Chain A
């Protein structure tokens, strides 16, 4: 099975900061990679799919990039609403979905 590893596990940042989260796959997943945001007590929210396609309604400060085994989620200017946990998810083998362990973004 494909394993997904996110780094860092947590980070502290200030409003306005540029934030980058990395997700590495144990084998190539091409661009079959999604990113989700989850706030405490809430369901995850889809942000990006196919590595770099922004889901409808998601602010443009979010962007995704990468191919193969290394991917990044970037928040260009962190906003108060962005403090949350972020998960990557691979779906290379269609119908086999694996999540990363999550990255918690906290207020500095």
Chain B
């Protein structure tokens, strides 16, 4: 089971950030398996962003909900996160991770660093 994040390393303020999580070794349509996004600003703590579950239900961090959209493509084994109107405070390493039922995020990607700067 692996997950790999990809996306731009540099984004300008007010632009939309699009990140892709490509995974293998499991299917998103499998009951009790979900994919989530988590970010970590440099030197700071982890922050959960969004989750797409096996039933195509979507869940968001309440403080970022208006700016986030998560979607999945089961045929491509990909989950995409978009974040609108980015700001320098959104500079962070963005991780995707698999959630196995209620057992925590058991598999993580290596992360992709995104810098928001003009």
Most chain B CB within 10 A, of A43, A97, A102, is at A43
Q: How far does the Cβ of B73 sit from chain A's closest Cβ, in whole Å?
A: 21
- A46 at the A/B interface (Cβ < 8 Å)? yes
B residues 21-54 touching A (CB-CB < 8 Å): 36, 38, 45-48, 51, 53
B residues 64-111 touching A (CB-CB < 8 Å): 95, 97, 102-106, 108-111
**Are B103 and A50 within 8 A (Cβ)?**
yes
**Are A89 and B104 within 8 A (Cβ)?**
yes
Given A32-B102, A34-B104, A43-B95: A95 touches B45 (CB 8 Å cut-off): no
Number of interface residues of A (CB under 8 A): 27
- A1 at the A/B interface (Cβ < 8 Å)? yes
- A49 at the A/B interface (Cβ < 8 Å)? yes
Q: How far does the Cβ of A100 sit from chain B's closest Cβ, in whole Å?
A: 7
Q: How far does the Cβ of A97 sit from chain B's closest Cβ, in whole Å?
A: 4
Most chain A CB within 10 A, of B62, B97, B102, is at B102
**Are B108 and A95 within 8 A (Cβ)?**
no
Question: Within the assembled complex, what's the spacing in Å between the Cα atoms of A45 and B110?
Answer: 11
- A71 at the A/B interface (Cβ < 8 Å)? no
Question: Within the assembled complex, what's the spacing in Å between the Cα atoms of A89 and B53?
Answer: 19
Could you say which residues of chain B place their CB within 8 Å of the CB of A32? 102
**Are A50 and B45 within 8 A (Cβ)?**
no
- A12 at the A/B interface (Cβ < 8 Å)? no
**Are B102 and A91 within 8 A (Cβ)?**
yes
**Are A49 and B104 within 8 A (Cβ)?**
yes
Could you say which residues of chain B place their CB within 8 Å of the CB of A98? 48
Given A43-B111, A102-B45: A96 touches B59 (CB 8 Å cut-off): yes
Q: List 20 A-B contacts (CB under 8 A).
A: A32-B102, A34-B105, A43-B97, A43-B109, A43-B110, A43-B111, A44-B38, A44-B46, A44-B105, A46-B105, A49-B102, A55-B103, A87-B46, A95-B51, A95-B53, A97-B36, A99-B46, A99-B48, A101-B45, A102-B45
Shortest 6 CB-CB contacts between residues of A and residues of B: A43-B108, A95-B59, A49-B104, A34-B104, A97-B48, A99-B46
